[in-house]
Amino acid sequence: MRGFAESMIICVSLNSHESDGFIGVNIGTDLSDMPDPTQVVALLKAQQIRHVRLYDADRAMLLALANTGIRVTVSVPNDQLLGIGQSNATAANWVSRNVIAHIPATNITAIAVGSEVLTTLPNAAPVLVSAMNFIQSALVASNLASQIKVSTPHSSSIILDSFPPSQAFFNRTLEPVMVPLLKFLQSTGSFLMLNVYPYYDYVQSNGAIPLDYALFRPLPPTKEAVDRNTLLHYTNVFDAVVDAAYFAMSYLNFTNIPIIITESGWPSKGDSSEPDATLDNANTYNSNLIRHVLNNTGTPKHPGIALSTYIYELYNEDLRPGSISEKNWGLFNANGVPVYILHLTGSGTVLANDTTNQTYCVAKEGADKKLLQAALDWACGPGKVDCNPLMQGNPCYDPDTVVAHASYAFDAYYHKMGMTDGTCDFNGVATVTTSDPSHNSCIFPGSGGRNRTTTNGTSLAPSSNSTVSGCHSQYLNEKGVLFNSITLGLMLWGVAFL
């Protein structure tokens, strides 16, 4: 489960209709080079992200989000919960300072009160519902209750006996809080926020949960988990955990409260004890999850019901304590370059990072100039790239540096080869970026007039495992951004099923 500390959650809506599910992205701030709010917003806009959730109500971020149309969820941090839960005036002041002061310029649509309070901050549990009520009262007084919803994210660990889902129930010691909390959500038309992490369910199951079941991979009917009470078939951990929450609410006689998944994903890297934290698994999980959500598949208990989900997380957090995997849940590096590219062809998503349509191949920052020159020679020779724009007097001659010229040639080859894996490496001196490197009248191949046809006989770009060779070239270059195309991912926490 993820803590509130010094983090923010950014939700990414990939649909234009509120009845559709959307994909969100959590953003932690434990980075040695955390982008400033204007850079974060620039990334959101470049990726066409339309929903954002912050772990706090950071003023600079809210100002940066103003006049963007992006829907924003602000949060009451856990360390402010006790004060707000004990004072209506404190809650009203919080709403005035962090919500009213920013609307309508900043499109605030929800408030998350605390994060996993019942499991991480039990001493505040008795005031959680009062804090939500006080925040709601302040919204009502300001005529904002119809446009701003109030809820609180929960760890899925509050659900016990979760498989089969039909017999699940909330930890009974929490019922004195859960019952009034669910009444609040029902009466205000809000939703239950739930953090779901199938990765941890899989890891902690000691082999009882198949990897394919955690990753949404297709299962033969004989391998599907069947709820013996309802005869519903479950093909993935995610759906089973969500339905367990639905059944747990039903056990308390609440049957009409929708669920939003506030955290879910898969780590792309781990240490020797975390062999399944890989780029391939992260890509597989997150790509399949996104399809599942955006197709409005729903769950076996509620088929076709939209289930919006927030990916954990936007950035890799290199300063986060713990295992290697804890630092590698991100979709992007701090410079805005994707950690990997989601495989979502035909999914209809507008998140630019999930396709290769808006990526470019450029020289890697700090790359050895001799290796860059050799790679440039190869691209303009055996690689059969049209390097005429780099000739003196042509649009891309200036700046006359090896980095600038190599970047153009690399991008031309990358797009010539259809942006497939391994075509932006050039012995380790090239990298993928989402920032358009075009400048002045020099328009890079990836920016316009893309040639995505692979010509028979065209050589593959030299990789880090091959030897670069080629003719001497008069094409130089000098500027780059580091980046490896991989696959985007999300992370879900679930409950052991078998």
410 Cβ contact partners less than 8 Å away, ≥ 6 residues apart: 361, 362, 363, 375, 379, 424, 426, 430
Q: Which domains, ranges and CATH numbers included, belong to the chain? A: 23-332 (3.20.20.80), 360-433 (no CATH)
Question: pLDDT, tens digit, for every residue of 216-231?
Answer: 988 888 888 999 999 9
Asked if residue 78 has pLDDT above 70, the reply is yes
Residue whose C-alpha is closest to residue 496's, from 202, 154, 264: 202
Supply the mean pLDDT for the chain: 82
Question: pLDDT, tens digit, for every residue of 287-342?
Answer: 889 889 888 989 999 999 989 988 898 889 999 999 999 999 998 888 888 888 77
Res 421: pLDDT: 65
- Helices 125-141 and 88-95 pack at an angle, to 10 degrees, of 60
Cα dihedral angle (52, 38, 436, 487), rounded to 10 degrees? -40
Question: pLDDT, tens digit, for every residue of 397-442?
Answer: 999 999 999 999 999 998 888 777 678 889 889 887 767 788 888 9
Classify 198 as helix, strand or coil.
helix
Average pLDDT, stretch 43-48?
77
pTM of the model: 0.70
Give the rounded distance of the alpha carbon of 455 from its chain centre: 35
Catalytic residues: 116, 263
The answer to whether residues 125 and 117 touch, using CB atoms and an 8 Å cutoff, is yes
